[in-house]
Amino acid sequence: MSSIIRQKVGDKIYLYESVSFRNADGKPRNKRIPIGKIDPVTGNPIYKPEYLADMAKKGTPIEIPTTTMMFSIDDIQHSSIKDYGAF
């Protein structure tokens, strides 16, 4: 059985696919395969192209969140006024 593991290294967070199995002695072991990282700005996963191709070949869907954000017209007007010094 496999699962996705997050591991923080310094200020970056990496994603690994962890596969659990038992070795010849019967002891549990894990094999981790790096599959991507977390974008520090948006917090969304950034998958490696090889991992996406492998999942597409297997037919497993992967949800890739969008980075679009909803803004109201007031938010845009206020940010434009502040940024450009219109008033």
33-46 burial, b at 16+ Cβ within 10 Å, e below that, comes to eebbbbeeeeeebe
Q: Average pLDDT of 20-34?
A: 95
Least confident of 42-46, 49-53, 64-68: 64-68
Q: What average pLDDT does range 15-25 have in this prediction?
A: 95
Which range of 51-55, 58-62, 80-84 scores highest in mean pLDDT? It is 51-55
The count of C-alpha atoms lying within 13 angstroms of the C-alpha of 37, restricted to the half-sphere facing its C-beta, is 10
Quick check: helix, strand or coil at residue 44? coil
State how far Cα 68 lies from the chain centre.
16
- H or E element, residue 22: strand 12-22
Note the pTM of the prediction, 2 decimals: 0.66
**For all residues of the chain together, what is the average pLDDT?**
83
Higher pLDDT, 74 or 31: 31
Number of C-beta neighbours around residue 15 at 10 A: 20
